[in-house]
Amino acid sequence: MAPTVVIVPGLRDHIPEHWQTQLATRLAQAGRSVRVTPPVAQDRLSRDAQVANLATTLASVAGPVVLVAHSAGVMTTVHWAQRHHAEVRGALLATPPDFETPLPEGYPTPGALAEHGWTPVPRRPLPFPSVVAASANDPLAAAERVAELARDWGSHLVSLGPVGHLNPASGHGDWSLAEDLLRELESGRTTPRSSAGTALPMPATGRHA
């Protein structure tokens, strides 16, 4: 039986044009079991509230799951993995933000993120296979910082090219590559590559300050 796909959005509300929403619809229409983690009703910026929300969603699923996270949902997934366990076959982690570097104006400040438990960002290897999909021009994270996270989490790194934050605000809706990456995760055939399928070198060791 194919694992249930659990969608882990960021801190946004439900957006019909977002690729996660469209992916969930397509998979459900194809007969896949799909769950979408609902928005947190209160204390949305709280890491603990977001992690508990994901834990509740996963507890409602019988059998294995594959996670599809975007933006802050990636950080929720990584924090969840430090303290919880489920039968996770793999995780697709798309455009994680860099919460340890000041974000653009209008986003939470480093102080607010620390106060709400998001930093320091966990750096231990994830206990399940994972793919980090990185943008070359994400306003919320420099490509080299995302490569650092992928290396520390033990994830395969996929370069998407200049896709912004891979959201409607960046001019991106549907993202068909997500289904290809899901199939690779479920089959255990994940390999570092670009969005065109070209093999990529894994990030070099060593940290940036």
Please check the confidence at residue 200 and state whether its pLDDT lies above 50.
no
Q: What is the mean pLDDT of residues 113-131?
A: 97
Which pLDDT does position 56 carry in this prediction? Answer: 97
* Residue that wins the pLDDT comparison between 208 and 175: 175
Which pLDDT does position 189 carry in this prediction? Answer: 64
Confidence of residue 191 (pLDDT cuts 50, 70, 90): low
pLDDT, tens digit, for every residue of 18-66?
999 999 999 999 999 999 999 998 899 999 999 999 999 999 999 999 9
Confidence of residue 192 (pLDDT cuts 50, 70, 90): very low
Question: Cα separation of 5 and 26, whole Å?
Answer: 12
Q: How does 115-140 read in b/e, with b if 16+ C-beta sit within 10 Å? A: ebebeebbeeebebbbbbbbbeebeb
Confidence of residue 14 (pLDDT cuts 50, 70, 90): confident
Which pLDDT does position 90 carry in this prediction? Answer: 96
Structure tokens at 149: 């996270």
Please check the confidence at residue 165 and state whether its pLDDT lies above 60.
yes
Please name which of 172, 177, 206, 169 lies closest in space to residue 194, comparing C-alpha atoms.
177
Which pLDDT does position 194 carry in this prediction? Answer: 41
Q: What CA–CA distances, in Å, run from 90 to 13, 148, 162?
A: 25, 19, 25
- For the ranges 41-45, 166-170, 187-191, the lowest mean pLDDT is seen at 187-191
Give start and end residues of each alpha helix (H) in 103-192: 110-115, 143-153, 177-187
Evaluate if pTM is beyond 0.85.
yes
199 C-beta neighbours (distance < 10 Å), count:
8
Please check the confidence at residue 106 and state whether its pLDDT lies above 50.
yes
Q: Is 18 helix (H, G, I), strand (E, B) or coil?
A: coil
